[in-house]
Amino acid sequence: MKLEKETSETGRFVRQPNRFTTRIEAGGAHPPEPGRYRIYASYACPWAHRSLIVRELLGLQDVIGVTIVDPIRDERGWRIPGGDPVTGVEFLSELYLATDPDYQGRYTVPCVWDITAKRLVTNDYPQITLTLETAFAPWHAEHAPDLYPEALRAEIDALNEVIFDGLNNGVYQAGFARSQAAYDEAVTKVFATLDMLEERLSHRRRLHGDELTESDVRLYPTLARFDAVYHSHFKCSVRRLIDYPALWAYARDLHAIPAFRDTTDFDQIKRHYFMTQTNINPSGIVPRGPEIDWAPA
């Protein structure tokens, strides 16, 4: 990971902006069509994990293809084991450079390739799941959940911002901090957000009531990685997820849903963080444990 461009003068982690942000939308240059798009994702990456969960929840497996990259990344970026069956490339970087030969940033997942236009349309991970939930609505499975109901969109968007800043990105700000002040600021924010969510979930099943929404999808990947990776690797060690009764019950409840459980690969998650982020873990040793039962209570 190229951290030198993502660290401020005060040692704070500043996430790279998304380079490709074109929308897939009816009437646009990239209209939603079955079989036209392919998502490139990693089971290890929390941002990509969202897209995999939503694709499964909405029953879009036959509408939008997916290529899973290897969790171990080197200076060439994400490798595609056996080569990509659609484009034939071996590394995700080839698709970035085919779209923009001058691209200089990290080659991130998830991203979406337009098979017809032969270019990357988007690596804008917050928008990708919203696109699956809205632009691809005509192809949702019959009993698919409405993850982004119009009546709740303002509330969902507001909570998503809090979750992103305080937790999704907050754990990275703690883990990649290059000063004590930057770390202290980030880790305090992480646990203040967890405390707030614990209170919120102490009297409701999901973040916005009883039904699944986009907010639940955005929170879960961070919770799934918290005790296995972020608690030790990113020094978010004030408390564990399992120390929060409501949050831990909520996370296990979501994990019991096949779309969440079947896209959660703890082996790939741990190998990716501990083996590729050698600036934090120079030995590359993957720790054993924690031994946690994710079965619902």
- Count Cβ atoms below 10 Å from residue 171 Cβ, excluding itself: 26
For the question of residue 103 being annotated catalytic, the response is no
Look at residues 20, 47, 25 and name the one whose alpha carbon lies nearest to residue 36.
25
Q: Which of 107, 172, 183, 230 is catalytic?
A: 172
SS3 track for 18-79: CCCECCCCCCCCCCCCCCCEEEEECCCCHHHHHHHHHHHHCCCCCCCEEEECCCCCECCECE
Q: Which helix (H) or strand (E) holds 119?
A: strand 119-122
The 10 Å CB-count burial string (b at 16+, else e) for 128-159 is bbbbbbbbbeebbeeebbbbbeeebeeebeeb
Q: At what angle do helices 180-201 and 245-255 cross, to 10 degrees?
A: 80
Give me 276's structure tokens: 């590729």
Element (H, E) at 111: strand 111-114
> Is 37 one of the annotated active-site residues of the chain?
no
Catalytic residue among 45, 96, 236, 244: 45
| Gap between the Cα atoms of 98 and 89, Å rounded | 10
- Backbone dihedral angles phi then psi of residue 236, each to the nearest 5 degrees: -90, 65
| Residues designated as active site | 45, 172
